[in-house]
Amino acid sequence: MGKTKDVRAAVEAELGFDPLVDSSDIKVMNIGGDVTLAGRVPSYPQYLEAAAAARRVDGVINVHNNLMVVLPDSDYRDDVQLITAANNALAQNITVPDGVEAVAFDGDITLTGTVTYISQRAAAEAAVTGLAGVRSVSNQIEISYAIDPVDVDVNVQQALARSALVPDDSDVTSDTKDGVITLTGHVRTWAEHDAVVGAAWMALGAVEIRDELQVTG
C-alpha cells in the first residue's frame, strides 16, 4: 500500500513540477506501477507531456493516458482553418516530403501520405502537434522502403550498442518482418525504454515499431 501511495504522490509531484503541464485538473491513480491519468488538459501537447512526465517517475511501469483535451475558446479553430494551418506546417517542414497531407474534423487531425523513413513520419506528426486548435493527431502515413529484414535487425542492434542509455548486458532483441520491428526484452526505466525505441526508429527500413518491452522498474 505504501509503494502505491508513494508512486502516485511522485507522479503528482512530477506533473506539478513540469512547467509544460497544467496539472490542476489531472487525477492520478496507481496500482502496482500501473498509472492512469484522468481529467482534462487545455492542449494536445500537454496531453502528451503529462504522459511523458508520468513515465519519468521511478516505479512507473505503464501509463494509461485517459486525459481529455478541452480547448479554451481562444484556441478554437474551425476545420477549414485547422486544415490550412496543418498543411502549411507540413509544407514548411523540410523533413516532411511532398504528398503528406492533413485533414481535420472538430480538432482531430488525420495525416495521410507516403514517406521513405519512419523519422519523416514522426516529423510530420511533430509539425502539427503544437498547432492551436488540435485535440488529437492520428498518424496514418505509410512508409515505403525496401530492405532485407536481416539488415534492419543488424541496424537496430548496432544502434542499441551505441546508445549510452542501454546497458551492455541488455537482453533486448529485435525481430523484423515486412518492415515491422518487434522489440522484446527488459528495460529498467522508461528512459531506457525510450532510448531503445528511439534507436529502433532510426534504423533504415523500419516501417513500424511493435513495442513489447517490459519495464521492470
The percentage of the chain sitting over the pLDDT mark of 90, rounded to a whole number, equals 58
What's the pTM? 0.73
pLDDT tens per residue across span 63-96: 999 999 999 999 999 999 999 999 999 999 999 9
Look at residue 146 and tell me whether its pLDDT is greater than 50.
yes
**Domains (ranges, CATH) in the chain?**
2-69 (3.30.1340.30), 75-143 (3.30.1340), 149-215 (3.30.1340.30)
Compute φ and ψ for 143, nearest 5 degrees. -115, 130
What is the structure's pLDDT at 5?
58
| C-alpha to C-alpha distance for 53 and 22, rounded to whole angstroms | 12
Q: Using alpha carbons only, give the angle 90, 156, 169 rounded to the nearest 5 degrees.
A: 135
Residue 78, pLDDT score:
94
> What percent of the chain is predicted at pLDDT more than 70?
93
- Which carries the bigger pLDDT value, residue 84 or residue 120? 84
Q: What is the pLDDT of residue 1?
A: 43
Strand duo 101-105 + 108-112: pairing: antiparallel
